[in-house]
A and B are shown apart, each in its own frame.
Chain A
C-alpha cells in the first residue's frame, strides 16, 4: 500500500478515488437502473421484468415524442445561440476594455445570489398579462390592451433561460479571450488587418474552444430542463422533460419514462458531438 502511494499513478488514483466513488455511485448507478427499467414493462402496479424493445418502439413511433424531442433541441439551440451571442460582447468587454475585471466578474455572478426558481417567477411577473411590462406599456400609451405573446410560449422560455445561463457563457468565453497573447493582435494589425478583420481572423478562431465550452454547458442541461417550461412555457412551450415527468408521475409508467430519458440523452449526445465537430471545422477554415 505504501509503495502504491509513492508512485505518481498511485497518488493520482488515491486523490481521485473519493470523487470517482461518488460519481460512480450517484451517476453510474442510477443510470444503470434507468437502462434496466427501459427494457421492462409496467403492468399497473407491478413491473414486468421480461426484456423487451417495446418502449423504444413506442418512443420511436409516437409523434408526440418526436415533436417534443425536436422542440426541446430547437429551444435549447435557440437558448444557446441567444446566450452565447449576448455573452460574447460582455466577455470581450471584460477581457479587453476594462481594468476592473474582478468587479465585473463579481457583478455577472449576482444572479446566482438569488434562487433560480425566484428568478423564473420574477420573469413571470415581468412578462405576465398584468405584469410589469404590460402595465408599463399600457400606462405609457404604447399599447391599448395587454400583449399576450410575452408569456407561456417558447419565447418566454428562451428569454428566461438566456438570462439564467448568462454567467455560464460569459466565464468560459472570457477565459479564452483573456488567454490570447496581445502581441498576436498587434501582429495581425502589423500584417495589414483592420480591427474587424483582426477579430474574424485571430480573436474568433482562438476563442472557438471557449464558445464550444459555453455552448455545451448551456445546451445539454437546457434540453432536459423541466422547471422553466412548466412555469413560463405554457402548452406550446412544453419540452421532453415535461413528458418524462408525466411518465414518472401521473401516468405511472416508469419504464417508458426511463426510455424517454435515454432517448433524450442520446439525442443531446448526437447533437452535441455534431456541434463540436462543426464548430471546430469552421474555426479551422478561418485563415
Chain B
C-alpha cells in the first residue's frame, strides 16, 4: 500500500426515482489497498461499486480514478475491471478465449497474448486449462477464470461484487486467503462488495460499513470491531450485547457510568461514537464476559442471572443469561474447552466484566 490515492469519491449521490440508493458518499482509497464495502442487502454498496465501474452514473458529486474525473468516461474506457457476482463467464468461449476477451482489443501480438493468458491462468492456479469449455468448470474454477479475465487487463483497480457468495463454506474460506495473497503480491487496489462480515474482516485493509445508502464508518477491521461508531455498525459486525449506561461523571477521556444490570463502571470515550448525551448506549462483546458459578473476583463489575438458552457452535458455546433489570438475555461466548465449562439451562450463574471491555456507542438513540 502507498500513500497515493487511487480512488477519490466525494459527495456522490444516486437516486432511483424518489429512492435514494447512495447518499453523500465520500471515500478515499489508497493505491494497493484492499477495501471492502460491507452492509446488508439493499444498503447501496453494489450501486456504489457499479458507479465506480461506470455501469451506473451518479446524480451528484465526483468520482476520480488515478486522478482522472470519471464523469464523461464510459465503463469500457475506465482503468477498472470487475469480477461479477455471477462470474459472467462467456458460455460460447473456452477458458483461454474468456481470459483473452479483453486483450483482443489491445492489438497485442499472438505470442504475447498467449503468454499473458497463460500467466494469468497460472496466477489463479488454472495453468494449462485454456481449452476447457465454460460449461465444464466447477464453481470455484469459474470464480478463478473471472478473476484471471479481469487481472489479465492489469487494471489500476479491481472491483469485486460478492465474489465468493456462490461458493460453499470451505472453498470460500480457502479463496479468501488466496485472494488476499494475490492482491498483496500484485499490489492492485481491490474494492470488494460483501454482506459477509467475516469475509470483509479476514481480507480487507479497511472496511466501509453501509446502511440505507449511507456510509456509516470506515476503519481497519480491528478498530471496527473494538470501536464501532453506533448500534447499527456494532450489531452488524460480530455479536454484541447492548446495555443502557447512565453517565455519572464525565472525565474527558473516560466517563463514570451506571451500567444497566452491572452497576458502576468507568469506560473509555469512543472517539468514533459521534453524539454525546447523558444517557449512553454501551456494548459488550459476548467473548469479553466471564461466566462463573460463584461471584467472580478481579472483575470491575458483575451481575447474577439464570441461563435461559445454550447454543453450541463447535469452537465455542454461547450461553444466554437472563438477569434482573435487563430486557434481553445477555450472550456470553465461552471457548469450547471440552466441557470444563458446562452449565445447564436454569443454572444460577455470575457474569463478570472489565472496564476496558465495555464499548461506548454514543447516544442511545444513535
Contacts and interface: CB of A to CB of B under 8 A. Distances in A.
Chain A interface residue number, banded: 20 to 34
A287 B75 contact: no
Interface stretch (A26-34, A47-55, A126-134, A182-190): A182-190
A187 B149 CA distance: 10
Interface string A201-225: 1100110000000000000000000
A183 B88 contact: yes
Given A192-B105, A202-B90, A206-B92, A183 B76 contact: no
B323 to A, nearest CB: 50
Nearest to A183: B88
Interface stretch (B62-70, B78-86, B198-206, B266-274): B78-86
B81 A191 contact: yes
B76 A192 contact: yes
Interface string B84-103: 11101011110001001110
A193 B76 contact: yes
A181 interface: yes
B291 interface: no
B78 to A, nearest CB: 8
B48 to A, nearest CB: 16
Given A181-B86, A183-B86, A191 B92 contact: no
A283 interface: yes
A187 B85 CA distance: 11
B86 A191 contact: no
Nearest to B55: A186
Contacts of A284: 92
B81 A287 contact: no
A156 B150 CA distance: 52
Query: Chain B contact residues (Cβ within 8 angstroms of A): what range?
Result: 20 to 34
Given A190-B53, A192-B105, 15 more contacts: A183-B84, A184-B88, A186-B88, A187-B82, A187-B90, A188-B101, A190-B55, A190-B75, A191-B76, A192-B106, A193-B105, A202-B90, A202-B92, A283-B92, A287-B97
Given A206-B92, A287-B93, A190 B104 contact: no
Contact of B88 (A187, A194, A201): A187
Contacts of B76: 189-194
Contact of B104 (A181, A186, A189, A287): A287
B192 interface: no
B90 to A, nearest CB: 6
Contacts, number: 64
B29 interface: no
Interface string B179-206: 0000000000000000000000000000
Contacts of B106: 192
Nearest to A205: B92
Nearest to B77: A192
B153 interface: yes
Interface of A: 181, 183-184, 186-194, 197, 201-202, 205-206, 283-284, 286-287
Interface string B38-67: 000000000000000101000000000000
Contact of A190 (B81, B91, B97): B81
A205 B76 CA distance: 20
Nearest to A188: B101
30 contacts: A184-B88, A184-B91, A186-B55, A186-B75, A186-B82, A187-B82, A187-B88, A187-B90, A188-B90, A189-B55, A189-B74, A190-B55, A190-B81, A190-B102, A190-B150, A191-B105, A191-B149, A191-B153, A192-B76, A192-B77, A192-B153, A193-B76, A193-B105, A197-B105, A201-B101, A202-B90, A205-B92, A283-B92, A287-B93, A287-B101
- Most chain A CB within 10 A, of B74, B76, B81, B93, is at B76
Contacts of A187: 82, 84, 88, 90, 149
Nearest to B152: A191
Contacts of B88: 181, 183-184, 186-187
A191 B74 CA distance: 12
Q: Which of A188, A191, A202 has the most CB of B within 10 A?
A: A191
Of A192, A202, A283, chain B has the most CB atoms within 10 Å of the CB of A192
Contact of B102 (A181, A191, A194, A205): A191
Nearest to A284: B92
Closest 4 CB pairs of A and B: A191-B102, A187-B88, A183-B88, A192-B105
**Interface centre among A189, A201, A205, by most B CB within 10 Å?**
A189
Interface in B92-144: 92-93, 97, 100-102, 104-106
A187 B82 CA distance: 7
Contacts of B92: 202, 205-206, 283-284, 286
A283 B93 CA distance: 10
A192 B90 contact: no
A183 to B, nearest CB: 4
Contacts of A194: 76
Contacts of A186: 55, 75, 82, 84, 88
Contacts of B105: 191-193, 197
B55 A287 contact: no
Residue in B75, B82, B88 whose Cβ sees the most chain A Cβ within 10 Å = B88
Contacts of A205: 92
Contacts of B97: 287
Nearest to A193: B76
A184 B90 contact: yes
A162 B254 CA distance: 83
A284 B133 CA distance: 12
Q: Which of A181, A187, A201 has the largest count of B CB atoms less than 10 A from its CB?
A: A187
B84 A191 contact: no
A192 B81 CA distance: 9
Contacts of B102: 190-192
Given A186-B88, A187-B82, A190-B82, A287 B100 contact: yes
Contacts of B104: 287
A193 B90 CA distance: 14
